[in-house]
Amino acid sequence: MQGGHKGLEPERDTVHIRITDGHLSSKVHVVNITIKPINDESPHIFTDSLFVKQGGYAKITNSTLFIVDTDTKPE
């Protein structure tokens, strides 16, 4: 990933996630990301909606959030 808004190639980033049902919201959870500066091709991000019943839970999987960096070979 590249921080296009800053013109930088950071080695770390964070994502803040909050879940809401339109009325109530969860606490903010922070996901720390480590970025290996291998190349500059843009990743492809695929998302889908994830619905959870009140009181239930759901796991974020590759079918709801999937990121592909086609120029980087898997380890």
pLDDT at 66 over 60: yes
* CA 73/CA 64 separation, integer angstroms: 22
Give me the pLDDT at residue 72, please: 56
* CA 66/CA 37 separation, integer angstroms: 20
* CA 57/CA 9 separation, integer angstroms: 35
pLDDT in tens, 12-61: 888 888 988 889 999 999 989 888 777 667 778 888 888 888 888 888 88
Give me the pLDDT at residue 2, please: 44
Sign of CA dihedral 31, 65, 46, 20: negative
Q: Cα–Cα distances in Å, from 70 out to 1, 47, 60?
A: 12, 17, 22
Give me the pLDDT at residue 24, please: 92
Is the overall model pTM greater than 0.75, yes or no?
no
